[in-house]
């Protein structure tokens, strides 16, 4: 855990830093926002920024967004200034910490940030075999290619590998190749010199240099333009990079992990991905099974997310009723763990009491419900094999019976419509469900962000109303 403290904090920096260090964090300090931004640009990196509310918290958060520097920000200030806390939260800070620092509160914040990015919750045998392989290869420096559908937990697995590696005390740096436009991705990866292109107002270290000594995750690498793949291949082979506009190569020492939700072998055959880069990345391949093939994880993850969001939203502890649990087990989970997490967050907020009933469980993607046999198999497998499963077999059986007749009805309603019409409606409805967020919609739909943008451009040209991008979304400028 890397903590960057920004501001004077009226003499409480030493105390806050000492508490964080005792909890295993590496602590750095900058007096001003400008110095903090320079440190982040030059590769210092941070997992958590703690900023004094006397500074312009909103300005720093906006600068971080503009320069695509992803880091959790919490505000802190002396005493209990409620107005200052409200301003900081509205500006985008995730939490407000009153000073003098409380050791337990700081420890809780550090633990929450660490847990959010590294915890892997699973009990299903299909995932346990993958975790055993991850444990086996983590201590090495071998390049790892993690594949699987969107939402299966590829980035969480990458952080899990880093935490168990010999580089665990060094930096973990992640870059989403799908969320950054092609013309900016080269600079994001390799850095640039001042004046290298329009908008390059200062020299900036790229992700390769920032991750030096640690681990670099190239998330959704299959979305990278094939022209940039050649430069990436050289960087991996030679362990050196060239900044955009620079003249001298820079040596780097890091472990590389890449993820993809596409079949890279097919992408190679289609000419969309370099074969030599594929073999360079595919030293060890971890294939994460989709959630529908991990029925024993559905209940476990659902309970985990219920606890998480009940605590996060300050509501009383919630539990799932047997019928609600059976409803979850019957779903296809096209969006995988990410879809389940969103579903349980909604359920916690919509529940009318301490027990979450089926009406609070609002499922998406119902037009993609599988056949009844698949539903029965998934529910029965979880009920009969999950140790200590909270859903009694007879109650689950009753829920299954009620689902048999309904399983085929969504498909029956589609008869007479073209595939293109159904696809368009599904995309638009999913986008509305995600409040316009293109990235979340693409993940739920199981398609790349580039494919989604192309579809939306086509629909817009056909005169179909398109939901506007979600506020603050990375891709809103190009969607």
- Cα–Cα distance, 244 to 221 (Å, whole number): 20
Beta partners for 319? Answer: 355
Task: Decide if pLDDT at 127 tops 70.
Answer: yes
More confident residue, 321 or 417: 321
- Cα–Cα distance, 358 to 302 (Å, whole number): 13
* In the chain, % of residues over pLDDT 70: 81
| pLDDT range class, residue 412, cuts 50, 70, 90 | low
- Cα–Cα distance, 115 to 105 (Å, whole number): 15
DSSP string, 332-385: --TTHHHHHHHHHHHHHHH-SSSEE-GGG---S-GGG---HHHHHHHHHHHHHH
* Least confident piece of the model among 266-270, 385-389, 417-421: 385-389
Token pair 């005792």 is found at 22
| pLDDT range class, residue 383, cuts 50, 70, 90 | very low
- Cα–Cα distance, 119 to 307 (Å, whole number): 14
Class in CATH terms, 419-477 = mainly alpha
Task: Decide if pLDDT at 15 tops 80.
Answer: no
pLDDT score at 203: 77
Backbone torsions φ then ψ of 236, nearest 5 degrees: -70, -45
pLDDT score at 306: 93
pLDDT score at 379: 45
Class in CATH terms, 2-118 = alpha beta
pLDDT score at 119: 65
- Closest CA relative to residue 441, chosen from 454, 424, 423, 428: 428
* Least confident piece of the model among 235-244, 360-369, 419-428: 360-369
Average pLDDT for 397-404: 46
| pLDDT range class, residue 218, cuts 50, 70, 90 | very high
pLDDT score at 385: 44
DSSP string, 132-188: HHHHHHTTS---EEEE-STTS-HHHHHHHHHHTSTTTTS-EEEEETTTS-HHHHHHH
Task: Decide if pLDDT at 479 tops 60.
Answer: no
Maximum average pLDDT range among 248-257, 384-393, 470-479 = 248-257
- Closest CA relative to residue 142, chosen from 260, 278, 273, 254: 254
Beta partners for 174? Answer: 217
More confident residue, 305 or 404: 305
pLDDT score at 403: 43
pLDDT score at 197: 73
Q: What share of the chain is helix, strand, coil (3-state, %, to 5)?
A: 50, 15, 35
* Least confident piece of the model among 18-27, 122-131, 348-357, 444-453: 18-27
Would strands 72-78 and 95-99 be described as parallel, antiparallel, or unpaired?
parallel
| pLDDT range class, residue 388, cuts 50, 70, 90 | very low
**Tens digit of each residue's pLDDT (9 = 90 or more) over 248-295:** 888 999 999 999 998 999 999 999 999 999 999 999 999 999 999 998
Instruction: Give residue limits of the domains in the chain.
Output: 2-118, 125-287, 291-412, 419-477
First to last CA, the chain: 34
Task: Decide if pLDDT at 320 tops 90.
Answer: yes
More confident residue, 397 or 156: 156
**Tens digit of each residue's pLDDT (9 = 90 or more) over 152-165:** 989 999 999 998 99
Q: Which CATH architecture has domain 125-287?
A: 3-Layer(aba) Sandwich (3.40)
Task: Decide if pLDDT at 476 tops 60.
Answer: no
Class in CATH terms, 291-412 = mainly alpha
Would strands 355-356 and 319-320 be described as parallel, antiparallel, or unpaired?
parallel
- 2-118 and 125-287: identical CATH topology: yes
Task: Decide if pLDDT at 330 tops 60.
Answer: yes
Q: Which residues contact 410 (CB under 8 A, 6 or more apart)?
A: 366, 367, 369
* Least confident piece of the model among 68-72, 106-110, 151-155: 106-110
């Amino acid at each position: 855990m890397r903590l960057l403290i920004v501001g004077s904090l009226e003499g409480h920096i030493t105390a806050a830093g000492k508490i964080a260090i005792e909890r295993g964090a590496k602590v750095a300090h900058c007096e001003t926002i400008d110095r903090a931004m320079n440190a982040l640009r030059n590769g210092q990196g941070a997992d958590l920024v703690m900023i004094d509310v006397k500074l312009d918290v909103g300005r720093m958060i906006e600068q971080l967004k503009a320069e695509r520097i992803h880091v959790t920000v919490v505000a802190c200030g002396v005493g209990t200034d409620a107005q200052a806390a409200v301003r900081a939260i509205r500006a985008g800070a995730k939490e407000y910490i009153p000073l003098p620092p409380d050791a337990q509160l700081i420890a809780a914040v550090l633990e929450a940030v660490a847990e959010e990015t590294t915890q892997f919750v699973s009990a299903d045998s299909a995932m346990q075999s993958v975790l055993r392989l991850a444990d086996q290869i983590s201590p090495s420096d071998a390049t790892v290619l993690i594949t699987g559908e969107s939402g299966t937990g590829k980035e969480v697995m990458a952080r899990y590998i880093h935490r168990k590696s010999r580089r665990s005390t060094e930096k973990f740096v992640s870059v989403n190749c799908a969320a950054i436009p092609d013309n900016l991705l080269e600079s994001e990866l390799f850095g640039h010199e001042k004046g290298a292109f329009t908008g390059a107002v200062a020299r900036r270290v790229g992700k390769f240099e920032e991750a030096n000594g640690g681990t670099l995750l190239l998330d959704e690498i299959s979305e990278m333009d094939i022209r940039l793949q050649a430069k990436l291949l050289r960087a991996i082979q030679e362990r050196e990079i060239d900044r955009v506009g620079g003249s001298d190569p820079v040596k780097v020492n890091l472990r590389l992990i890449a993820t993809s939700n596409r079949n890279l072998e097919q992408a190679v055959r289609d000419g969309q991905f370099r074969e030599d880069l594929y073999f360079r990345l595919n030293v060890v391949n971890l294939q994460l099974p989709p959630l529908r093939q991990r029925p024993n994880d559905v209940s476990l993850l659902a309970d985990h997310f219920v606890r998480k969001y009940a605590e996060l939203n300050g509501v009383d502890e919630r539990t799932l009723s047997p019928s609600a649990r059976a409803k979850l087990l019957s779903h296809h989970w096209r969006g995988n763990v990410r879809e389940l997490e969103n579903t349980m967050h909604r359920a916690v907020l919509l529940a009318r009491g301490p027990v979450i009933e089926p009406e609070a469980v609002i499922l998406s993607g119902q037009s993609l419900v599988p056949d009844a046999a698949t539903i029965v198999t998934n529910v029965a497998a979880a009920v009969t094999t999950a140790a200590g499963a909270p859903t009694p077999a007879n109650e689950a059986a009753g829920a299954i019976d009620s689902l048999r007749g309904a399983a085929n009805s969504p498909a029956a309603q589609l008869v007479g419509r073209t595939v293109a019409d159904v696809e368009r409606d599904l995309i638009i409805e999913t986008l509305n469900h995600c409040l316009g967020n293109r990235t979340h919609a693409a993940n739920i739909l199981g398609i790349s962000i580039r494919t989604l943008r192309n579809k939306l451009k086509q629909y817009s040209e056909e005169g179909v109303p398109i939901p506007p991008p979600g506020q603050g979304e990375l891709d809103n400028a190009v969607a």
